[in-house]
């Protein structure tokens, strides 16, 4: 028989205002085996915890029930309290009378009644609790960073700095991400490449960091501390270890009409290419969709000019297996496709560009060598219209995004300011719904664009852009002047909303981690655990978690690294003892549990059983690996013979709770 | 029809929730007949929200709207200003008298040349 103690928390007025805590404690005190009950203002406070410890000692309690907030909040706290008093931490049960009771009810009588029922269910469960011991598992001292943009780079550098091995998997031929495509950064206007490329070189030179460029994560198995990852190294038809990055092949390649994705298709590249001069690793890659040798077997020029003999037309995709203790997701963002915004004539005129395309048009390494020219006729534009919030802040019923993309107000102010500085004869209009510039020195930056650089900021939205006689007729509203404006523009720049990279969703499935409806990864807690996912050992860095500018991304990337280092610094991790267990005598060997297990924790073994009349039978039975099992309970539901049970949440415990509630 | 019920009537007829408007002005940016109107699409939305329906009912703007639905198409928050304008027009019609269309009156109004669409439009206009 158990000796149970019941502790009812007021949580200040959070619970006590709607639940009669004294009545709950007294009523539950009359339940069988309850030998002690108490109510107190803050059970989680030091004073409250001491009350629990003293009661365990004085009344020789074998199990305790805390009626308080959600177990997500303080279950760990009260388990530690029990442990301090010498009680097995798994003899503690929490009845959630705050989130699931006092916060959602207004009537004291009904809320009190419900709190009693919830407490009774927890008592019924404690009756059947058994002490559980957590197993230990070792930690692989190596981290995987998925994505090699500024977020992934910063996280990898910080983890390596603490002395741990880091691998970066980047799907493009070079690391650097979006930041390598940007010209200048707000609000200080330093050259993006000048501050990024030294970091890229640091990554390349760091002995602890290994880059898998032009690679993707193909499969993830295992659990925190022991992830088993398969990395697909896509064939680049160039031997990475031999290529010196001299660029001779990229100059001599006769196939020159390949759209240059690094310049967003604004110019062409060769079929064998190095994305940009400071690429890391500086290794050539062949685009198999355009290479004549790969398509027709006739050419081979690059192979002839390569002094290092690095070209390998027969190269195949390669799979690499590697173990990691922690995984960081840093998959980043992309501007949305504007094909559904035909009112802005994006698909009708080459002179309607996205803001990222505008970055390339002003970048010294871009298609125009940094001279701002219209894509259509390579003339200098004299009137430029910037349109904000294209695809952001929409109702969600159309093709746009419901969220604010956060970075557009600032980069548009930057574009407008830089244009006016370099080309003072250019008229620049910015159409805005709201100007959102929270951030250090951000609003001052925007005001400078207006006051010192004479950018025309107009509160209103562009309704229509129509190409007419080589110009772009922009029709827009000016809400403050209550006018409709018609501007003859040379160039229209659209601040397209940003969305998570398409690789994020399949990755989330592989990592069994959560995403929101916009495909941004969900953090474990929006305030208190912003860089961890809800899945242990998976961390979030940069825009994969939500829109962010560079300063914020770098801060988050370093925070993420700190969390990874904290994990990798441990030699052993305490496991979750609430794992599945198979009753071999009841198991019929059907494999249902093996098929539903998302962690691959269940295998089948042939085992000898003593049968009547001294005979022996060999039967096939399920076997759970407790180190791999995460305690999700899928197998217990799938098992047709009732052989599978979850420790700490056994079928009999759950039925006892249901019975107590229905009593 | 009582004066303070106008707003409620307009909202009911149109099915529009003017509170969804974020004041971006894309409707007025898109309007092809903007200069002809005294009150512009974005003003319609805020005036309905403020209950200034009578002002709209007496304004020629109601009839200058081409009902091209450009504002409905472009609105990023699906506020649908043109539907509000149509609802204000219906308020004016109702104010003018009890001209609800009664089913038994219909057969004598029909002839072979009447397009079917006109009958459907009439129902829409006179039965709300």
Task: Please answer yes or no on whether B29 and A433 come within 8 Å at the CB atom.
Answer: no
Which residues of B are less than 8 Å from A397 in CB distance? Answer: 78
Shortest CA distance from B22: residue in chain A: A433
Crossing angle between the packed helical segments A150-161 and A550-568, to the nearest 10 degrees: 40
pLDDT at position B5 is 80
Task: Please answer yes or no on whether A393 and B22 come within 8 Å at the CB atom.
Answer: yes
Cβ contact A25:A82 at 8 Å: no
3-state secondary structure of A628: coil
SS3 letters for A378-446? CCCCCEEEEEEEECCCCCCCCCCCCCCCCCHHHHHHHHHHHHHHHCCCCEEEEEECCCCCCCCCHHHHH
Tokens matching residue A268: 């062409």
Tokens matching residue B94: 């109702």
What burial class does residue A30 get, using C-beta atoms within 10 Å of its C-beta: 0-12 exposed, 13-18 middle, 19+ buried? exposed
For residue A552, the distance in angstroms to the closest alpha carbon of chain B comes to: 27
Q: Which residues of A11-25 are buried (b: 16+ CB within 10 A; e: fewer)?
A: beebbbebbbbebbb
Residue A505 CA neighbour count, 13 Å, CB half: 7
Tokens matching residue A208: 């602890």
Distant-in-sequence, close-in-space partners of A535: CB < 8 Å, separation ≥ 6? A511, A512, A513, A514
**Which helix (DSSP H) or strand (DSSP E) does residue A572 occupy?**
strand A572-574
Tokens matching residue A511: 């990592």
- Bridge pairing between strands A427-432 and A523-525: unpaired
Q: How far apart are the first and last CA of chain B?
A: 14
pLDDT at position B91 is 86
Q: Which residues are registered as beta bridge partners of A243? A: none
- CATH number belonging to the domain at A4-128, selected among 1.10.3470, 3.30.70, 3.40.50, 2.60.40: 3.40.50
A311: which DSSP letter? B
**Nearest Cα residue to A325 out of A625, A628, A567:** A567
Phi-psi bin for A430: left (phi > 0), alpha (psi -120 to 50), beta?
beta
A336: which DSSP letter? P
CA–CA dist A556, A560 (Å, integer): 6
- CATH number belonging to the domain at A580-647, selected among 3.30.750.24, 3.40.630.30, 3.30.70.3270, 3.20.20.70: 3.30.70.3270
Task: Please answer yes or no on whether B28 and A462 come within 8 Å at the CB atom.
Answer: no
Which residues of A are less than 8 Å from B27 in CB distance? Answer: 463, 477
Interface test with A, best of B22, B44, B76 (most A CBs within 10 A): B76
Establish whether the linkage from the previous residue to A475 is cis, with ω within 30° of 0: no
Q: Which residues are registered as beta bridge partners of A5? A: A36, A64
Measured over the CA atoms of residue A549, residue A555, residue A559 and residue A565, the dihedral's sign is positive
| Equal CATH topology for A235-315 and A580-647 | yes
Instruction: Flag whether pLDDT at B97 surpasses 70.
Output: no
What burial class does residue A355 get, using C-beta atoms within 10 Å of its C-beta: 0-12 exposed, 13-18 middle, 19+ buried? buried
Name the architecture of domain A333-499: 3-Layer(bba) Sandwich (3.50)
Residue A633 CA neighbour count, 13 Å, CB half: 9
Q: Which fold has domain B3-97?
A: Fumarate Reductase Iron-sulfur Protein; Chain B, domain 2 (1.10.1060)
Interface test with B, best of A392, A463, A483 (most B CBs within 10 A): A463
What one-character-per-residue DSSP string does B65-90 give?
-----HHHHH-TT---HHHHHHHHHH
pLDDT at position B1 is 46
For residue A463, the distance in angstroms to the closest alpha carbon of chain B comes to: 4
pLDDT at position B6 is 87
Domain segments of chain B as ranges? 3-97, 100-128
Q: Sorting pLDDT into bands at 50, 70 and 90, what band is B125?
A: low
Tokens matching residue A320: 């690499």
A87: which DSSP letter? -
Measured between CB atoms, which of B24, B29, B40 is closest to A464? B29
Tokens 């004549």 — which residue? A292
Task: Please answer yes or no on whether A462 and B24 come within 8 Å at the CB atom.
Answer: no
Crossing angle between the packed helical segments A408-422 and A442-451, to the nearest 10 degrees: 40
For residue A471, the distance in angstroms to the closest alpha carbon of chain B comes to: 18
Q: Which residues of A211-243 are buried (b: 16+ CB within 10 A; e: fewer)?
A: bbbbbbbbebebbbbbbebebbbbbbbbebeeb
pLDDT at position A311 is 96
Domain A235-315, CATH class in plain words: alpha beta
Tokens matching residue A311: 């070209």
Instruction: Flag whether pLDDT at B128 surpasses 60.
Output: no
Domain segments of chain A as ranges? 4-128, 235-315, 333-499, 580-647
Which residues of A are less than 8 Å from B24 in CB distance? Answer: 389, 433, 460-461
Tokens matching residue A207: 């002995």
**Which helix (DSSP H) or strand (DSSP E) does residue A298 occupy?**
none
Establish whether the linkage from the previous residue to A200 is cis, with ω within 30° of 0: no
Q: Sorting pLDDT into bands at 50, 70 and 90, what band is B96?
A: confident
Cβ contact A400:A497 at 8 Å: yes
For chain A, residues with pLDDT lower than 70 are none
Shortest CA distance from B39: residue in chain A: A482
Instruction: Flag whether pLDDT at B103 surpasses 90.
Output: no
Mean pLDDT of B64-91: 91
CA–CA dist A152, A370 (Å, integer): 28
The Cα diameter of chain B in Å comes to 48
Measured between CB atoms, which of B31, B35, B74 is closest to A343? B74
Our CA angle for A631, A636, A639, nearest 5°, is: 145
Q: Sorting pLDDT into bands at 50, 70 and 90, what band is B124?
A: low
pLDDT tens, residue by residue, A270-318: 999 999 999 999 999 999 999 999 999 999 999 999 999 999 999 999 9
Task: Please answer yes or no on whether A400 and B23 come within 8 Å at the CB atom.
Answer: no
pLDDT at position A300 is 94
What burial class does residue A158 get, using C-beta atoms within 10 Å of its C-beta: 0-12 exposed, 13-18 middle, 19+ buried? buried
For residue A433, the distance in angstroms to the closest alpha carbon of chain B comes to: 5
CA–CA dist A428, A383 (Å, integer): 6
**Nearest Cα residue to A409 out of A546, A614, A505, A547:** A547
A267: which DSSP letter? S
């Amino acid at each position: 028989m158990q000796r149970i103690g019941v502790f009812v928390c007021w949580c200040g007025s959070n619970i006590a205002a709607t639940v009669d805590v004294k009545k709950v404690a007294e009523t539950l005190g009359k339940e069988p085996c309850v030998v002690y009950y108490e109510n107190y203002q803050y059970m989680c406070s030091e004073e409250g915890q001491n009350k629990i410890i003293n009661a365990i000692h004085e009344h020789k309690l074998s199990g305790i029930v805390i009626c308080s907030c959600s177990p997500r909040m303080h279950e760990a706290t009260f388990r530690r309290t029990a442990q301090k008093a010498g009680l097995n931490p798994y003899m503690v049960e929490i009845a959630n009378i705050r989130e699931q009771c006092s916060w959602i009810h207004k009537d004291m009588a009904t809320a009190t009644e419900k709190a009693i029922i919830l407490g009774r269910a927890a008592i019924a469960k404690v009756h059947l609790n058994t002490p559980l011991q957590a197993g230990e598992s070792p930690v692989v001292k190596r981290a995987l960073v998925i994505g090699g943009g500024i977020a992934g780079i910063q996280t990898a550098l910080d983890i390596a700095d603490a002395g741990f091995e880091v691998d970066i998997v980047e799907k493009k031929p070079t690391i650097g991400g979006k930041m390598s495509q940007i010209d200048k950064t707000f609000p200080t206007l330093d050259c993006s490449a000048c501050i990024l490329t030294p970091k890229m070189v640091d990554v390349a030179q760091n002995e602890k960091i290994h880059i898998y460029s032009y690679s993707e994560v193909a499969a993830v198995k295992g659990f925190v501390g022991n992830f088993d990852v398969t990395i697909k190294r896509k064939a680049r038809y160039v031997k990475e270890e031999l290529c010196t990055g001299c660029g001779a092949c990229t100059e001599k390649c006769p196939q020159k009409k390949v759209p240059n994705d690094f310049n967003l298709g604004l110019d062409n590249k060769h079929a064998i290419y190095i994305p940009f001069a400071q690429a890391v690793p500086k290794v050539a890659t062949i685009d198999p969709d355009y290479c004549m040798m790969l398509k027709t077997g006739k050419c081979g020029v690059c192979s002839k000019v390569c002094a290092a003999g690095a070209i390998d037309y027969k190269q195949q995709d390669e799979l690499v297996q590697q173990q990691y203790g922690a995984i960081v997701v840093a998959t980043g963002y992309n501007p949305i496709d504007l094909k559904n915004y035909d009112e802005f004539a994006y698909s009708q005129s080459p002179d309607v560009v996205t803001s990222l395309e505008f970055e390339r048009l002003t970048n010294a390494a871009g298609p125009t060598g940094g001279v701002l020219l219209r894509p259509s006729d390579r003339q200098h534009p004299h009137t430029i219209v910037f349109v904000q919030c294209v695809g952001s802040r929409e109702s969600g019923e159309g093709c746009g995004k419901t969220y604010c993309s956060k970075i557009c107000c600032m980069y548009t102010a930057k574009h407008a300011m830089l244009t006016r500085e370099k080309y003072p004869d250019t008229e620049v209009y910015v159409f805005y719904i709201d100007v959102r510039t929270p951030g250090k020195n951000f609003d001052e930056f925007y005001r400078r664009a207006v006051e010192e650089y004479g950018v025309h900021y107009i509160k209103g939205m562009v309704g229509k852009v129509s190409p007419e006689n080589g110009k772009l007729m922009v029709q827009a509203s000016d809400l403050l002047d209550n006018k409709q404006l018609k501007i003859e523009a040379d160039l229209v720049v659209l601040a397209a909303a940003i969305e998570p990279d398409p690789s994020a969703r399949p990755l989330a499935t592989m990592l069994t981690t959560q995403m929101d409806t916009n495909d941004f990864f969900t953090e474990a807690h929006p305030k208190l655990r912003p860089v961890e996912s809800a899945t242990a050992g998976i961390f979030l860095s940069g825009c994969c978690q939500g829109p962010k500018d560079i300063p914020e991304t770098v801060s988050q990337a370093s925070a993420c690294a700190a969390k990874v280092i904290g994990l990798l610094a441990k030699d052993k991790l305490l496991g979750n003892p609430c794992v599945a267990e198979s009753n071999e005598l009841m198991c019929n060997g059907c494999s249902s549990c093996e098929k539903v297990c998302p962690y691959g924790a269940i295998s089948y073994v042939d085992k000898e059983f003593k049968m009547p009349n001294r005979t022996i039978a060999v039967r096939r039975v399920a076997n759970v690996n407790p180190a791999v099992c995460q305690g999700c309970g899928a197998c217990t539901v799938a098992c047709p013979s009732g052989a599978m049970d979850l420790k700490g949440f056994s079928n009999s415990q759950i039925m006892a709770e249901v019975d107590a509630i229905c009593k | 029809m009582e004066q303070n019920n106008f707003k409620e009537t307009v909202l009911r007829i149109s099915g529009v929730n003017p509170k969804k408007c974020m004041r971006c002005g894309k409707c007025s940016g898109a309007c092809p007949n903007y200069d002809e109107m005294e009150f512009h699409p974005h003003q319609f939305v805020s005036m309905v929200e403020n209950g200034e329906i009578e002002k709209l009912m007496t304004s020629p703007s109601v009839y200058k709207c081409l009902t091209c639905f450009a504002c409905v198409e472009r609105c990023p928050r699906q506020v649908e200003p043109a539907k509000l304008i149509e609802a204000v027009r219906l308020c004016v019609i109702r104010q003018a008298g009890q001209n609800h269309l009664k089913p038994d009156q219909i057969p004598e109004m029909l002839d072979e040349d009447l397009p079917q669409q006109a009958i459907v439009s009439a129902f829409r206009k006179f039965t709300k």
